[in-house]
A and B are shown apart, each in its own frame.
Chain A
Amino acid sequence: MSTLKHKGKGPQAMTANELRDGFNVWLDKNLDWTRDYENSLRTEDQDLIDRMQLKAETDEAKNIVVGTYFIDVEPDTGLPARYREKFRVNGPSYDTADLLEAK
């Protein structure tokens, strides 16, 4: 569920889904959306966090993304803290489509 109210702990990243294609995206350091979590901005800087929030609200209103929310990031690994969010970063561990592509 989209919740912009950020009550997170530690470093934060901003995530959403692309409106058209549905794919998961994160804000990068230029405050553009990236499908690659590696390139995402993860920060504890409150000013940056405020700008991320503003950008998310703006792009949601502009119908570029849907369901924006902050996620907690593990300071040591840089990965999302929540298990579910780790999955959103990695994609399915199994997908029949991958087997078809491998063929």
Chain B
Amino acid sequence: MYRYDEFDAQFVAERTKQFRGQVERRLAGRLSENEFRPLRLMNGLYLQLHAYMLRVAIPYGTLSSEQFRMLAHLAEKYDRGYGHVTTRQNMQYNWPKLPDVPDMLDDLASVQMHAIQTSGNCIRNVTCDPYAGATAEEIEDPRPMAELIRQWSTLHPEFTFLPRKFKIAVTAAKKDRALIKAHDIGIQIVKNKAGEVGYKIIVGGGLGRTPIIGQTLREFLPKSELLAYLTATLRIYNRYGRRDNKYKARIKILVQETGIKEFTEQVEAEYATIDISDIAVSQAEKDRITAYFASPDFESLENEPAGYTAELGSNKAFALWAKNNVAAHKASGYAIVNISLKPKELAPGDITAEQMRITADLSDKYSFGELRTTHQQNLVLPHVKQSDLPALFTELQKAGLASDNINLITDIICCPGMDFCALATARSIPISQAIAERFADPERQRTIGEMQIKISGCINACGHHHVGHIGILGLEKAGVEFYQVKLGGDASEDAAIGKVTGPGFSQEELIDGIENMVELYLAKREEGERFLDTYNRIGMAPFKEVLYA
């Protein structure tokens, strides 16, 4: 795993020290809120609906067990015993107190973590396929590239005051688990016809109040040109992106207004002026970074060892969990394990300090001390021996972490909504809980199959509702919450924005309506079809009819 070099460590330490001074001056009254606000936001500290909220960056969603233990420690010592995994793979704390925040940042720095660039109009935390380095589907591990971008973008003098925030996601597999088409820039590691490895660059995607699917800026970019090309793209955005209107300031609007063809020409023209060798990173430095992400020492093992298959045959609960939550690993005899943070009783993405600690211990015992957060608000143990799966399952069960609902109807993405967020128009957590309640029967969930429900508590769309198979947006009118429904969104490599069905519903009507649509799908589906496939085949009208019945 990547470890900070001296520069990084020193920088983070200085930054924390600076912030401690700023907090002290704020508390002593020598800084006004107007002066302090941008400083606290630069360090991930928001003032929310009921209290402060600290957002901690988890670069590309990769954590060591030691780091996860520290996140548990923060939850326990400075917060109220839990944390919340966000759709950008970060961790949020809902109840920190201002005087404690510098201590929290010091604790984070002791395990090479921080909260820098989790807010503000800069390049934010780079997100990544949570299966990186573990899946056979990838061309190569995308994390060295993500780390390179992190280093390049951290405090980049030219790109610290962009027209608006800038989010980058990376993947190296065809199957998109990082939502690269809904980011300002999405990068996919690809091979060209000659078999060379390079990057496909997608630009101008985004959710928020104007959802747009990203378009291809470059089909193939040679590896050595990445930072230079990103520089050219960011320059065009910095130059022409709208600063007059916050709602039109994202790069997606610029690309849309300019047209992808002209935008591409602008980027390429700018690119032609850049001396690539100025920005290029030496091979030695690349090798240094890549070495941190070297595969652990996998043993040479058989797939499907006897103990594992015997347990599959004799333990139904285990078999169901394994079928749903376990994915294929690149190394024979190993598996990728998804840990669902969507049990019926907790809010989506919430995890208690105790559960964090247990997961950290399990990752030490079974996964080379490594774990991941996912944009679906779940966790991943990337490298587990298949022969260890039964024992791991038993321990997860004890910790309340063995929900076998990954990618099913109760694996809901959900933002904090009005329960915590100052920008919300309606609650979202109770909706996800009502759906989890209505579809609690695991057998029924499996019958329904893959289904992605995504809920946002306002138009900012942090809960990704635009790309849910069923997307739900919470709104409010005259003191009453109501919920608008979108259908046909897709967060995969075939990314699509869902279409609004029509007027919104009360919570009860909404849950009944969803159930009606699910029943319709079950009645109409053809062999192998998911809800989304049936919807795409038969269109909105029949679903709308039962939704508004």
Q: Are A96 and B29 in contact (CB under 8 A)?
A: no
Choose among A23, A96, A99, A101 the residue with the greatest number of B CB atoms under 10 Å from its CB: A96
User: A17 in the interface, Cβ–Cβ < 8 Å?
Assistant: yes
Instruction: Identify which of residues 83-102 in chain A touch chain B, using a CB-to-CB cut-off of 8 Å.
Output: 83-84, 86-88, 91-97, 99-101
How many residues of A sit at the interface, in one of the four size bands?
Answer: 20 to 34
Check if A23 sits within 8 Å of B50, measured CB to CB: yes
Of A60, A84, A95, the residue contacting B33 (CB under 8 A) is A60
Given A84-B424, A88-B49, A63:B346 Cβ within 8 A: no
Q: Determine which of A24, A88, A97 lies in contact with B81 in the assembled complex, contact meaning CB atoms within 8 Å.
A: A97
A22 adjacent to B52 (CB under 8 Å): yes
Chain A residue, CB-CB nearest to B428: A94
- Residues in A whose Cβ lies below 8 Å from that of B94: 95, 97
Q: Taking the complex as formed, is A20 at the interface, i.e. its CB lies under 8 A from any CB of chain B?
A: yes
Q: Bits for B65-86, please: 1 = Cβ < 8 Å to A, else 0.
A: 0000000000000001110000
Per-position 1/0 for A58-101, Cβ under 8 A of B = 00101100110000000000000111101110011111110111
Cβ contacts under 8 Å, B95 to chain A: 22, 97
Q: What chain A residues lie within 8 Å of B476 (beta carbons)?
A: 83-84
Which of A62, A66, A83, A99 has a CB less than 8 Å from the CB of B479? A83
- Residues 45 to 68 of chain A near chain B (Cβ within 8 Å): 60, 62-63, 66-67
Complex contact A100–B49 (CB within 8 A): no
Whether B115 is near chain A, meaning CB under 8 Å from some CB there, is: no
Residue from B26, B28, B81, B427 within 8 A of A93 (CB atoms):
B427
The contact string, 1 if C-beta is below 8 Å from chain A, for chain B 85-112, is: 0000000001111110000000000000
| Interface residue B419 (Cβ < 8 Å from any Cβ of A) | yes
Asked if A4 is at the interface of the complex by the 8 Å CB criterion, the answer is no
Given contacts A22-B51, A94-B419, contact A86 B479 (CB under 8 A): yes
Which residues of chain A are within 8 angstroms of B479 by Cβ–Cβ distance?
81-83, 86
> How far is A21 from B78 in the complex, measured between Cα atoms in Å?
11
Using C-beta atoms within 8 Å of the partner chain, give the interface range for chain B: 35 or more
Is the beta-carbon distance between B481 and A92 smaller than 8 angstroms?
no
- B81:A100 contact, CB within 8 angstroms: yes
Contact A21 B98 (CB under 8 A): yes
Chain B residues, Cβ within 8 Å of A83: 418, 476, 479-481
Residue in A19, A66, A87 whose beta carbon sits within 8 Å of that of B49 in the complex: A87
Q: Which of B52, B346, B429, B481 contacts A99 (CB 8 A)?
A: B346
The listed residue (B26, B347, B433) touching A19 by CB distance below 8 A is B26
Out of B27, B28, B51, B427, name the residue touching A23 (CB < 8 Å): B51
Q: Tell yes or no: B420 within 8 A of A by CB.
A: yes
Q: Would B33 and A22 count as touching, CB distance under 8 A?
A: no
- The reply to whether A97 and B47 form a contact with Cβ atoms under 8 Å apart is no
Cα distance A86–B27 when bound, in Å?
A: 29
**If the complex has contacts A99-B345, A100-B352, are A21 and B430 also in contact, measured as CB distance less than 8 A?**
no
Knowing that A23-B51, A87-B418, A94-B429 touch, tell me 14 more A-B residue pairs with CB under 8 angstroms. Answer: A2-B33, A19-B26, A20-B27, A20-B99, A22-B48, A24-B50, A63-B28, A83-B418, A84-B49, A87-B49, A93-B429, A94-B433, A99-B345, A101-B80
Residues of A participating in the B interface, judged by any CB pair closer than 8 Å: 2, 17, 19-24, 60, 62-63, 66-67, 81-84, 86-88, 91-97, 99-101
> Which of B's residues lie within 8 Å of A, judged by CB?
26-29, 33, 47-52, 80-82, 94-99, 345-347, 350, 352, 418-420, 424, 427, 429-430, 433, 476, 479-481
